[in-house]
Amino acid sequence: MFKGVDSKAKFPEIETQVLSFWKENSIFEKSIESRRGRPLYSFNDGPPTANGSPGIHHILSRLFKDIPCRYKTMRGFCVPRKAGWDTHGLPVELEVEHSLGLKSKKEIEEYGVAEFNQRCRESVSKYIGQWEAMVERIGHWIDMKDPYVTLANDYIESGWWAIKTLWDQDLIYRGYRTTPHCPRCGTSLSSHEVALGYEDDTEDPSVYIKFRITQEALQSAAPALREAVGLDGKRTYLLAWTTTPWTLPGNTALAVAQEADYAVMQGEQDFLIMAAALVETVGLPGYR
């Protein structure tokens, strides 16, 4: 016979009792040990970044991770589940910078890099404790006693081992790519970090930039250009327009279209070379 159910059940108390029973009797661990030798379905947690307290939205993502593992367990699989903590990267550093009131990398150096790194370790340790409490409270079964932690030397060494192995197999190459860059942070940004700082109502200014042509370059330029600007010492510039002015510090070249027509605009102090089709659109007071 089943015990009677109180019509006025206190569900928070029942939840606490169930959680205590699971913990005291190692139910999660037994669910794995009792299935050793069965088909394996392993789960390694995509690690949350330990740079802040968990929020209500994290509960949903935890459930998405927990449900498939429970389902596979009930289907007879052995399902080890390893927790992980992302304790590296820009989010952690920014959290500590804000807490210490540091506003630049120079201030970090003045504060002391070693001391700053220690504050980062203390910060992630604090937040890991909060995450562990949340995970246990919502009944998410995962091995938090033996997690992988990205700041641990053995984890870092395993990363270098993987890179070395790929290098030995000629599976790594050196290449170049354009990435978002934060001048204040002094680092490239991931797409996730860019999205975190993006505002829909950010103004997107455009600017006109003059690129000076040296006299040496003019000497070897096409005869028509030399004739148009002369060689009287007046400076000559190529005029460019961009909607991404933040890319200018990394600019290394200016492209011209081989089939396009260009106009030479003369001013009192200099010459401007620009696309002929855009002379009227741009409008340059003082130039003809």
Distances (CA, A) of 8 to 1, 2, 14, 18: 21, 17, 12, 18
* Residue 17 shares a structural domain with residue 138: yes
pTM: 0.64
Last residue of a domain, one of 151, 176, 193: 151
Which pLDDT does position 11 carry in this prediction? 86
Q: Does residue 192 lie in a domain region?
A: no
* Residue 226 shares a structural domain with residue 108: no
* Range of the structural domain that residue 45 is part of: 11-151
* Residue 113 shares a structural domain with residue 222: no
Q: Give per-10-residue mean pLDDT for the chain (288 aa).
A: 77 90 94 94 91 89 94 96 90 90 91 95 91 93 93 94 97 89 83 71 80 76 65 75 85 83 81 82 77
CA gap 240, 250 in Å, rounded:
15
* Residue 144 shares a structural domain with residue 80: yes
CATH at 96: 3.40.50.620
Which pLDDT does position 220 carry in this prediction? 67
Sheet of strand 207-213: strand arrangement? 207-213, 235-242, 270-275, 262-266
* Residue 147 shares a structural domain with residue 15: yes
Which pLDDT does position 230 carry in this prediction? 62
* C-alpha closest to that of 29 among 63, 78, 85: 78
Instruction: Indicate the number of domains in the chain.
Output: 2
Q: Which residues of 212-223 are buried (b: 16+ CB within 10 A; e: fewer)?
A: ebeeeebeeeee
CA gap 281, 263 in Å, rounded:
13
Q: Does residue 129 lie in a domain region?
A: yes
